[in-house]
Amino acid sequence: MQPSNDRPQPAAPTQEPFVLGDCLKSEVIKENPFTIAKRQLDDAAEVIGLDPDILELLRWPMREMHVTIPVKMDDGSVRAFHGFRVQYNDARGPNKGGIRFHPDETIDTVRALAAWMTWKTAVLDIPLGGAKGGVICNPKAMSPGELERLSRSYIRQVGRLLGLEKDVPAPDVYTTPQIMAWMADEYSFMQGHNDFGVITGKPLALGGSARRGDATARGGIICIREAARMLGVELRGNTAAINGYGNAGSFAHKLAVELLGMKVVAVSDSKGGIHNPDGFDHQALMEHKRQTGSVAEFPGSTPLTNGDLLELDVAVLIPAALEDEISCRNAKHIKATIVAELANGPTTPDADKVLHERGIYLIPDLLCNAGGVTVSYFEMVQNSSGWYWEEEAVHRQLEKKMSAAIKTVHQAAVQYRVDNRTAAMIVAIRRVAEAMKLRGWV
């Protein structure tokens, strides 16, 4: 297959040139994630000459709630946890976004994620807005009973903001279908009737959608396949590395092998990384992680650092962990042809410039990991209608949405001669701005 002639070109010469020294200085201190989100918005707005009044509205959440959550612990003490719910922009429809339980959660992280969810739903052309929630806690150090009490108490605090026509949460980092079930039950109790549709990512028995578990990874795999077609890259028999072996990363391993015929030669999690040039068997590796708690020391593998994994010579690199994994410090050493962001914010803005100028095709998180929210939207549709789809229908509709979105973003990158993240932002903010104008907000 020959490379496509419409591959996005480097940024126009009129743009300010990237200087590596400045990049290194800017990343000595980790940048605030909400500052990064606003930088991305500003960059895209400048390219298309967005109305300043619209831009100012888009730079801030429309509403947010800060809550203190009392939870009785197993030892009889009562501990106060702190949490947030941010509704960024609902011009296109009800807000949608996950709830994270994480010890390092901050309001600015939640704001940034709510902004990115707004752009994500717009890029996929789903009639939803963007929101996010979070609780500062360490779920790994909590018992199931403590987690249940925390989950229910959080919903009691933010429930007034929620509803199928207002804001529909979903699972995110360290939250699970079981946690979603507790939340849905608590909200239903508050309403006085079953109202399971207010939460997505639920177990199937409570109205969850078929294939929700692998949706984020499956959407990313569809994007990788389409990107490879546009670039003329053969994936079958080629290699991939996955940084982060949680839900999204482990499913990406499984689907990269099954759907693309690739070899996953390196993976990592919070406890270490491993490498095998012959590739890893997904089932065996998952069983090893279930027994040991990590992919580290898998039989037949050699250890490697997370930094070494990111710089492996592979066709596809899949960052599926946390923010800022690829910075300007290592972007110049990335050798992958395609970088597919299954994590939120794994690449810093300065690293974006490095990768783009080096000709590395990055599929931004706004697009690449949007399979999760897309299938969550399908779950909302099914809950509203009371008609539940078979797996084939979910796959077919996800395929349609993801394929159309990556082609639209690719075309915008070509048209404006920008990197794919800026192109995705352009597609998104145009759609949100149109809705705001039609509603008379500006």
* Catalytic annotation, residues: 132
* Sign of the CA dihedral running 409, 413, 414, 419: negative
Three-state DSSP state, 318: strand
Query: Strand order of the sheet with strand 338-340?
Result: 302-304, 272-275, 263-269, 239-243, 316-319, 338-340, 361-363
Give φ, ψ of 425 to 5 degrees. -65, -40
Whole-number Å distance between alpha carbons of 272 and 90: 40
Cβ-contact 167, 197 below 8 angstroms: no
Whole-number Å distance between alpha carbons of 321 and 146: 26
The encoded tokens of residue 436 equal 């705001």
Question: Exposure of 135 by Cβ count < 10 A (0-12 exposed, 13-18 middle, 19+ buried)?
Answer: buried
Whole-number Å distance between alpha carbons of 69 and 135: 9
Cβ-contact 72, 149 below 8 angstroms: yes
DSSP H or E run through 41? helix 33-48
Q: C-alpha dihedral over 251, 269, 329, 217, to 10 degrees?
A: 10
State the DSSP code for 204.
G
Place of tokens 């809705």: 435
Place of tokens 């962990």: 321
Whole-number Å distance between alpha carbons of 324 and 326: 5
Whole-number Å distance between alpha carbons of 378 and 351: 34
